[in-house]
Structure 1
Amino acid sequence: MFATPLETADGRRAELCPLEPWQAAEFLAHMDRGREYVGRHIGLPDAAGDLAAARAFLQSYADKQAADSGRIFGIRLDGTLVGGVLFRLFDAGAGTCEVGCWLEPSAVGRGLVTRAAGILIDWAVEERGIHRIEWVVSSENTPSVKVAERLGMRRDGVLRQASSHRGVRKDLEVWSVLAPEWREHRAGA
């Protein structure tokens, strides 16, 4: 399997690598470790409640990758799956995509999501010609909002009560970066 190294401030070994259906048991164990924390803002833990559901979720992304409409990657810290990033939506023809993320508590505060999402954005812009990258986040998810800011994104607006998560209506913020802005941000980093 291939992996892309991710730097950590504390010198630990971290990497970004594809997540595939055959890794469903590992993915489920990771979700179980972070289920409460990850589930505060996103439905991913609810979509991967057991082994069959975890496999189906990863298979949906394998199907998206085959159709060139999405991809999913895991973040490993010292060899253990601790989070991930994904292209939730990917439309090369329209030149747009949406990047998303999640992380279990043991890996928070190391910059892993920011670095991993930056790799995805760089690939989307430079290899695939994507012009607009979006980041959609619950207004209550301050850590994810801060990632969008660190990635040089701008807040486009708030979709009031646009999402229902575990029976509660939530505001969603839409953040974005355009290809020229990304190149400028990356050059200044």
Structure 2
Amino acid sequence: MYAISLGDDGAELRPLEPWHAEEFLAHLERGREFINRFVPFGEKATDVAGAREVLQRHADGRAADTSSLHGLWLDGRLVGGVLFLNFDAAQGTCEAGCWLEPAGTGRGLVTRAMRVLLDWAFEERGMHRVEWIAAAGNEPSLNVARRLGMTRDGVLRQSYPHGGVRHDMEVWSVLAPEWRAARDGR
């Protein structure tokens, strides 16, 4: 498969496939508490079989053209990932998201990876709108949306129950013409 360099710091974007189950599980175990502060990402991946099931679900989504999962490796070690959810090529809309363990934070990995994926979504797949939905308290995620030039569309008040709390969810988006204008202006 492919590996896309994200810069000179040893960061790469690669597909995250079912055969990565052991590595994915080890990554989640290193960062589970940090990763799951706002969403229960990978909560069913508590053993290798569960990790493989999570990865297989996303591989099936890629095959059905409804989602895709990509890992972020730093110096050969899986430290997080980015994904497309609710990928609807016919409607030209999808949702993007991310997760990181602490070792991957503060390096701009998600922003760099999402630039690659957004270019692909808009230019190769003809998407018109990409959304980013994050808990109002998840400042690192909201900062990615800002760095990507997204616009805050609104807040879904107390719409997401997690960890015994109902979280406000912020909806951000970028449209294809906005993305192209911003990218060409870089």
Aligned residue for 2:6? 6
CA distance in 2, matches of 1:19, 1:175: 25
Q: How many residues align?
A: 186
Aligned residue for 2:51? 54
**Unaligned runs of at least 5 residues, structure 2:** none
CA distance in 1, matches of 2:46, 2:138: 22
Residues 84-99 of structure 1 aligned to structure 2 (within 5 Å): 84-99=81-96
**Residue among 73, 76, 81 paired with 2:78:** 81
Can you list the C-alpha shifts for 1:62-121, whole angstroms capped at 9, x where unaligned? Answer: 110110000000000000000000002200000001000001101111110001011111
Letter in 2 for 1:21: P
Q: Percent identity?
A: 60
Can you list the C-alpha shifts for 1:19-64, whole angstroms capped at 9, x where unaligned? Answer: 0111111000000011111111111141322222111110000110
Are 2:101 and 1:104 equivalent residues in the alignment? yes
Could you say what secondary structure the match of 1:46 adopts? coil
**Residue among 143, 146, 151 paired with 1:146:** 143
RMSD: 0.9
Aligned residue for 1:32? 29
CA distance in 2, matches of 1:122, 1:116: 10
Quote the offset at 1:18 in angstroms.
Answer: 0.1
**Unaligned runs of at least 5 residues, structure 1:** none
**Residue among 133, 137, 142 paired with 1:136:** 133
